Each structure stands twice: as C-alpha cells, then as structure tokens.
Amino acid sequence: MGGWWDMAAEELEQQYSPSRWSPRLGPDEVIQAHLAAAAAGTQRARAGAQTSLHVPYGDGDGEKLDIYLPTDPSGTFPVLVYIHGGYWQCLRGIYLCGHSAGAHLAAMVLATDWTEYGVVPDIKGAVLVSGVYDLEPILHTYVNDALHMSREVAQRNSPLLHIAPAAPAAAACKVLVAMAQHDSPEFRRQSREYVLALRAAGWSVSMLDLAGVDHFDIVEKLSEDSYILTQVILNMILRA
C-alpha cells in the first residue's frame, strides 16, 4: 500500500489544501467564512471578559498573545492556550488547544524536552484539532513556497518523529486528537498515526472523529455550548 510519497504533486496539493475538502462552500468562500466567524467570535469574547491584548512574548512583530480573564477573576482557575492555524503564517494548570498548524505547534510543545530550559511546565491537557504532525509531505506542496523548509528542517519540526516515552508528568497529561469527517484523507491519516505513536509511547491519548464538520467549522462550533468538542474540552478541564 502506497503512502504520500507515491502521490503526484497535484494530489499532494489537493490533500494539504483543507479548503478544497469542505462540502459547505467553495475553497475561497470557506476561508472567508472562517475568517468572519473567527472575527465575530473574538468580538463576543472581548465583550464578555477582561482582556489584555497584544501582549508581547518575544521580539518579533507577530510574537504577541491576547489574554482573556473571567469578569470576576477571584481564586485560581485553569489556563487554556489556544493556537490558531494558518500554516504558521497567518504556574496554574495549563491546557493547550491548537487547530491545524496550531495543533502542530501544540504538539511541538508536548515534544519539547523542557528540562533543557530549566522548567517543567504543568501541562495537564492538550486538544489537537485537525492537525498536521509530519511536515515532510508539505515540502512538495504550495505551502512550502512561502516556508522554504528543507527536508532536515521538516523532519526536525515533525512531532510525529519526536515522541519520547511518556515520563510521569507526560503520562498525566491528557491528549485529545480531534479530526473532521471532511478533513482530507491525508490530514485524517496523520491524526490516526500520531495517536497510535503517542499511545505506543505510553501517553494518555484519545481520538475524536467528528461527523458533519470540515477543517474550519470543527473549531468555529466551539462557541456552541452543546457542541461535543466544547463539552469534551470543558470536561477535561473540570475533571482535573
């Protein structure tokens, strides 16, 4: 049985272009709808929370984050760090949530040997949504026109290739890998293989295959209380 390396360039372009797989809208329309949904969700969140916006965490222009706090931030509360997608272009308990390329970045956090930096972050859970975990196939797609990754860089930054046996702290971290029914077969394959690799290394990992959603509305629906992924994330945090 062949793998991604047997695909023609046109097929790889198709597989790693999530907007081409939505049954709801055309490629351009689904991206515009996703941007509009994200902007509207941001406005709702800012209206209902205390915020510290554009807080720098590095020297680069893009190295900023937005912090949302409860309206009454008394006592302790968990922290959810959400990393958006866009193919890397566009000490309370910490929970990571990443979508698409953001899921890759969250997975790289899990793959990091933090002892090299003299810290042990208290990461209690990670929700990785429609992610990409092996970057080598992307070398042969339009995405690399902007990234200019070499094979060595792609392999060094592929979390699927850098899964260490789960230490006690890692074993306590709950990992959920979610994928959409209408993600491309390659995105779905990568999610399944990443789950199997984590499980084989002793990580506490589960997989959620969400029906009726595509690469974009799988996260747009997180604003809905009744959405299963919303409920799973809240349960993960509340049970800790």
Q: Which pLDDT value is given to residue 238? A: 84
Q: Which pLDDT value is given to residue 93? A: 73
222 and 234 Cβ atoms separated by less than 8 Å: no
Of the pLDDT bands very low, low, confident and very high (cuts 50, 70, 90), residue 90 is low
Q: Which pLDDT value is given to residue 1? A: 63
pLDDT tens string 12-60 = 999 999 999 999 999 999 999 999 998 998 899 899 889 999 999 888 8
Give the CA distances from residue 233 to residues 47, 61, 102, 138, in Å, rounded to whole numbers and listed in that order.
22, 31, 16, 29
Of the pLDDT bands very low, low, confident and very high (cuts 50, 70, 90), residue 136 is very high
| DSSP structure class, residue 202 | T
The C-alpha angle with vertex 104 and arms to 99 and 105, in degrees rounded to 5, equals: 95
Rounded Cα distance, 129 and 215, in Å: 9
Q: Which pLDDT value is given to residue 71? A: 85
Rounded Cα distance, 75 and 7, in Å: 54
If one counts the domains in the chain, the total is 1
| DSSP structure class, residue 203 | -
Q: Which pLDDT value is given to residue 126? A: 96
pLDDT tens string 61-78 = 878 899 999 888 777 788
C-alpha dihedral over 70, 171, 220, 82, to 10 degrees? 50
Res. 5: pLDDT tops 90: no
pLDDT tens string 145-161 = 999 999 999 999 999 99
Domain with 69 in it: what CATH number?
3.40.50.1820
Res. 91: pLDDT tops 50: no
The residues assigned a catalytic role are 100, 183, 215
Q: State the average pLDDT for the chain.
A: 91
Nearest to 90 by CA among 11, 131, 143, 37: 143
Mean pLDDT of the region 135-154: 96
130 and 208 Cβ atoms separated by less than 8 Å: no
Percentage above 90 pLDDT, the chain: 67
pLDDT tens string 111-121 = 998 888 888 78
What is the residue range of 188's domain? 4-238
